[in-house]
């Protein structure tokens, strides 16, 4: 089987296990998805959700972030890590969105990545989660690990992985495939001790073949 066929088999198997994969971040509108994804850099979704409970009560619009006191922002988001940079991204990004984009998140990746703190991963998450637009595929810690372990890519560079993986997965399934990889990474294909014996897709996995079958 080639990589395209393998990715399709994996997609179908994992979709049965996780029929409604979704982001673990809690948000209900474009302001919240933007802030949540920025805070999620180098931080667990669980921690972000704890922090945004307070954050979203106080800051409801892009203009609110624009007019925020940055020291207060830092205090609220401190536990997400890199709080100095993230507070600046929120304040400066809020100003840019309120002024240049008239308080509307742009729907194009090329525009989103102009925002402070927004790279390809963040932009792809925003597009897929808020607008259901698949312009690329978000590659995070979990799906990067899983995609590499399976053998769908030989790279560990997120940009290279995205470029390669979108060629073998149907465009309409890009976001779902990404979320399925994340779900599988969290539950089964863990970073330290992957649960290979319980894995539903082990027969397609190069890591399993190299590290388990030879030892049987």
Residue-level pLDDT at 160: 95
Would residue 196 count as lying in a domain? yes
Burial 17-30 (b: 16+ CB within 10 A, else e): eeeebebebebeeb
Which regions of 1-71 does DSSP assign to beta strands (E)?
none
Contacts 24+ apart (CB under 8 A), 4-8: 4/168, 4/169, 6/150, 6/152, 6/204, 7/152, 7/165, 7/168, 7/169, 7/177, 8/169, 8/170
Q: Say yes or no: 110 and 45 in one domain.
A: yes
Q: What is the pTM of this model?
A: 0.89
The average pLDDT across 2-27 equals 96
Distance of alpha carbon 63 from alpha carbon 194, whole angstroms: 44
> Please, what is the angle between helix 120-131 and helix 158-165, to 10°?
50
Q: Say yes or no: 152 and 120 in one domain.
A: no
Is the model's pLDDT at 186 over the cut of 60?
yes
Asked if 122 and 130 count as a contact pair (C-beta separation under 8 A), the reply is no
Domain of residue 78 covers: 30-131
Residue-level pLDDT at 214: 57
CATH number of the CATH domain containing 82: 1.10.340.30
Would residue 214 count as lying in a domain? no
Is the model's pLDDT at 204 over the cut of 90?
yes
Q: Which residues are catalytically annotated?
A: 121, 140
Distance of alpha carbon 39 from alpha carbon 65, whole angstroms: 14
CATH number of the CATH domain containing 146: 1.10.1670.10
Would residue 185 count as lying in a domain? yes
Q: pLDDT tens across 53-79, in order?
A: 999 999 999 999 999 999 999 999 999
Residue-level pLDDT at 203: 94
Q: pLDDT tens across 81-92, in order?
A: 999 999 999 999
Is the model's pLDDT at 26 over the cut of 70?
yes
Residue-level pLDDT at 117: 96
Where a domain ends, among 112, 131, 150?
A: 131
Residue-level pLDDT at 216: 44
Chain centre distance of CA 161: 14
Distance of alpha carbon 180 from alpha carbon 162, whole angstroms: 15
Would residue 177 count as lying in a domain? yes
The average pLDDT across 117-131 equals 94
Would residue 157 count as lying in a domain? yes
Asked if 38 and 90 count as a contact pair (C-beta separation under 8 A), the reply is yes
3 state SS of 30:
helix
Domain count along the chain: 2
Q: Say yes or no: 91 and 120 in one domain.
A: yes
Would residue 216 count as lying in a domain? no
The average pLDDT across 182-199 equals 94
Is the model's pLDDT at 206 over the cut of 60?
yes
Would residue 42 count as lying in a domain? yes
Residue-level pLDDT at 5: 97
Q: Tell me the average pLDDT of the chain.
A: 95
């Amino acid at each position: 089987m080639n990589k395209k066929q393998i990715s399709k088999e994996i997609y179908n198997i994992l979709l049965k296990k996780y029929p409604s994969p979704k982001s673990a971040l809690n948000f209900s509108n474009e302001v919240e998805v933007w802030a949540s994804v920025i805070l999620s850099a180098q931080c667990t979704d669980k921690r972000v959700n704890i922090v945004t409970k307070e954050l979203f009560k106080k800051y409801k619009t892009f203009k609110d972030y624009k007019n925020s006191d940055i020291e207060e922002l830092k205090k609220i988001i401190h536990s997400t890590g890199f709080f100095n940079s993230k507070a600046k991204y929120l304040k400066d990004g809020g100003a840019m969105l309120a002024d240049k984009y008239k308080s509307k998140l742009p729907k194009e990746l090329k525009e989103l990545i102009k925002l402070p703190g927004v790279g390809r991963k963040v932009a792809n998450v925003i597009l897929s989660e808020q607008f259901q637009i698949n312009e690329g595929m978000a590659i995070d810690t979990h799906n990067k690990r899983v995609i590499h372990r399976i053998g769908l890519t030989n790279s560990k560079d997120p940009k290279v992985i995205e470029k390669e993986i979108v060629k073998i997965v149907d465009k309409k399934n890009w976001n779902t495939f990404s979320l399925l990889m994340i779900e599988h990474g969290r539950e089964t294909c863990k970073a330290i001790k992957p649960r290979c014996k319980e894995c539903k897709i082990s027969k397609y996995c190069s890591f399993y073949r190299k590290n388990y079958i030879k030892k049987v």
